[in-house]
Structure 1
Amino acid sequence: MKNILVLLVFAIVFCSCSTYQDALKSDDIKLKYTLADSLYQNGSYKKALKLYEQIVPLYRGRPQAERVMYAYSDIYYQLGDYYLAGYQFDRFVKSYPQSSKNEEAAFKSAESYYQLSPSYYLDQEDTNKAMEKLQEYINKYPESERQDKANAMVKELQTKLEKKEFEIAKGYNTIGASRNTFPNAMKSFDNFISAYPGSAYREDAMFWKFDSAYQYALGSRQDLMAERLAKAKEAYEVLEKYYPSGKYAKEVTKMIEDINVRLQTEETIN
């Protein structure tokens, strides 16, 4: 009985493979379509893709074209080929604006670009594209059940862009002493705070602006130090106003105490 079952399974697999190979070689478009759709429905995406690649051009303009194009796009999505998934779903949305699958296709297109978004320190062209597509979806389908997920993805991508800008500004602070880039750091942090008032990095930006101003003052000539210490104290006051007991409180306390002592010394000398 066991041997019979093994032979039966082998026969089924062999026939299935034979049918698939026959379909690939066949000129029968209906045979290709029927098998491709069956494979797609069963999750055999790689096999289905080879057949869809053959029939997609042949179904353009036919009644089945919408179904074929959606499945073709979705196969790339299911396989994790997000470049082609995003592109093909874009085409689907534009080609079939009245389709019942239009909303799902628009979301999967946006989500595909979201999946392509790289780490924050790399070029963010795909991140910006994803945010654009997600925002289009949010605006077009305000009642969609996917709204929460789309908004969460936008927030995540926005935070990534903010982190990139924050790290660029902080980079100026890091090399400030050796390359005299503290003024660049202060300007960059100012721009960041202005551009992203609700950012998760807002407190960090204010602190590092203060730190940059403080270090810039300490490295100054004696005749410029008092003026620059006063500027650093202004940065401290802004930080203290918004984050009086923030996560940098210990460092801030030491820095402002040192600034006050130095300013008092300058006043005594003058």
Structure 2
Amino acid sequence: MTRIYVKTLTAMLLLLLILAACNKNKIKPSLPAAERMKAAEKMFKDEDYLDAKTEFRIIILNFPGNTVSAKAQYMYAECHFKLKEYIIAAAEYEKLVRVFPNSEYVDDGQFKIALCYYKLSPKYSLDQEYTLKAIEEFQKFLEDYPTSELKSETNKYMRKCREKLAKKYYVTAESYKKLTYYDAAIIYFDYVLDNYYDTEFSQQALMGKADCYFRMGNNEEAVKYYKIFLDKYPKASRANKVKAELDKILKEG
């Protein structure tokens, strides 16, 4: 009898603990917006993003036009961002910018839209739709908030995006060069030179273009671009090799 009683008591205690755990983050439905907001923010601070997301959503739906509405929308987007749900997060930040254009959170929201697309950007060999979208949104942020303290960080992300795009076109050019499709290679090298002149691949593209002309037997164009290379990058690691190649062409010519 005693053994049965102990087992029953133990089971009841376990049930109470489970119920307590389940109700740990429950918020009373009757709480006013400000108090519910405070509770939701605590969940967010405790990194309980799933429950926080639910509560911020309730505030958005149940208290439209309230003084905490804009912040709730921002924090709702933040929850999705923290959960790495970047497509949804971007949409919610966009809603913040659209619905609450005068909110104190709008500038950060616009920055986060761009950052979401940056996070979605895949490696250079894959489709770069998100990379291009990230650049577009970062540029929009700089135009709308030219004096923002996030300007330096924005430029850093834009440079990384541009380097990735430049690499994609440069690698394509090199592939054509290896296949001896020199005309096609030059088209892609030129694309890098024209559109990504401020990246590390600009130097390599110029060298690749000169090499293509040399391999095609077009010494006149090869000499022209080797000279341009040496003028622009006199201290480049390949400068001595280029000088030797140039001297050889000029002597043979």
Residue number in structure 2 paired with 1:205: 205
The one-letter code of the counterpart of 2:95 is: R
Rounded to whole Å, the distance in 2 between the matches of 1:110 and 1:13 is: 42
The one-letter code of the counterpart of 2:249 is: I
Rounded to whole Å, the distance in 2 between the matches of 1:127 and 1:75 is: 23
Aligned pairs for 1:1-270 (under 5 A) are 14-20=19-25, 28=29, 30=31, 34=36, 35-53=39-57, 56-176=60-180, 181-217=181-217, 228-260=218-250, 262-263=252-253
Rounded to whole Å, the distance in 2 between the matches of 1:13 and 1:229 is: 81
Deviations 1:48-78 (A, max 9, x none): 2244455644444555432322221111112
Give secondary structure in 1 for the equivalent of 2:163. helix
The one-letter code of the counterpart of 1:150 is: T
The alignment's TM-score, normalised by the length of structure 2, stands at 0.80
Greater CA drift, 83-92 or 136-145 = 136-145
Deviations 1:136-173 (A, max 9, x none): 11121222221111111112212222222222222211
Is the CA contact 1:93–1:106 (under 8 Å) kept in the aligned structure 2? yes
The one-letter code of the counterpart of 2:227 is: E
Is the CA contact 2:162–2:199 (under 8 Å) kept in the aligned structure 1? no
Deviations 1:211-243 (A, max 9, x none): 1112222xxxxxxxxxx2333222222222323
> Post-superposition shift, 1:79?
1.8
Higher helix content, 1 or 2: 1
Q: Kindly tell me: are residues 29 and 108 of structure 1, through their superposed partners in 2, closer, same or farther at Cα, counting changes over 3 Å?
A: farther
Aligned residues: 237
Give secondary structure in 2 for the equivalent of 1:144. coil
Rounded to whole Å, the distance in 2 between the matches of 1:31 and 1:42 is: 21
Rounded to whole Å, the distance in 1 between the matches of 2:147 and 2:190 is: 38
Q: Kindly tell me: are residues 195 and 109 of structure 1, through their superposed partners in 2, closer, same or farther at Cα, counting changes over 3 Å?
A: closer
Give secondary structure in 2 for the equivalent of 1:211. helix
**Cα-Cα RMSD:** 2.9
Rounded to whole Å, the distance in 1 between the matches of 2:246 and 2:30 is: 78
Deviations 1:180-218 (A, max 9, x none): x1122123323332333333222211111111112222x
Residue number in structure 1 paired with 2:12: none
Give secondary structure in 2 for the equivalent of 1:153. helix
The one-letter code of the counterpart of 2:234 is: P
Is the CA contact 1:73–1:89 (under 8 Å) kept in the aligned structure 2? yes
